[in-house]
Amino acid sequence: MKYKAVIFDLDGVICSTDRYHYLAWKKIAEEIGVYFDESVNNRLRGVSRAESLDIILEAYNGKVSDEKKRDYMSKKNALYRHLLEGMSLNDLDPEVKTTLDQIRAKGIKMAIGSSSKNTKYILKQIGLDDYFDAVSDGNNIMRSKPDPEVFLKASNFLGISPGNCLVVEDAKSGIEAAIAAKMDCAAIGNGTKYHLANYDLENFSGLLDIL
């Protein structure tokens, strides 16, 4: 068996929190006084909170201090966390849970590789806390995707070499991070339009055909 582990991005792969990110960042953009829509939000996929704010500030003419940036990021996270309180087991697609169970039954390790610092909270909300063999997220990395650090740490936590890991991603930056980590990648959702991954999935259960 080539793949001994599967490393999943969280947002847009295991569950969808895009709407919550969008609503929280939109509030911040309104406070700053800059335009923000879905196209801008799409550029924030898979990147850190600081990088996301910098993208939003591209439309701002003035200069924003580091202290003010930290304030905006803190406010965004508070808004986002408040919205996440509404997440529940109903936000986990049954197809995702069934597929994960079948992957586990094959004896394949599973990990999360996400830039989000709210990863463990989200997993708890959807009933998957303590479900994965390892979690590598925004709390234990210094560099966000497309840097491969988050995936390399996940493989290290699992004790499985990068060449035996398959990454599942929906963001271009995440696919690029997998490539940089020398890991094969299966793209899903928005990620399939770039044709950068080894596999393009039509649905989550398509993973089982690869494995």
Sign of the Cα pseudo-torsion (84, 88, 91, 95, in order): positive
* Cα 134 to Cα 7, 84, 88, 157, 189, distances in angstroms: 9, 22, 22, 6, 24
pTM: 0.88
What is the set of domains in the chain, with CATH numbers? 5-16+91-210 (3.40.50.1000), 18-84 (1.10.150.240)
Which one is catalytic: 9, 137, 170, 184?
A: 9
pLDDT tens for residues 157-209?
A: 999 999 999 999 999 999 999 999 999 999 999 999 999 999 999 999 999 99
pLDDT tens for residues 69-85?
A: 999 999 999 999 999 99
Which one is catalytic: 11, 18, 137, 184?
A: 11
| Catalytic annotation present for 9 | yes
Under a CB-based contact definition with an 8 Å cutoff, are residues 154 and 7 in contact?
A: yes
Find residue 8's DSSP bridge partners. Answer: 112, 168
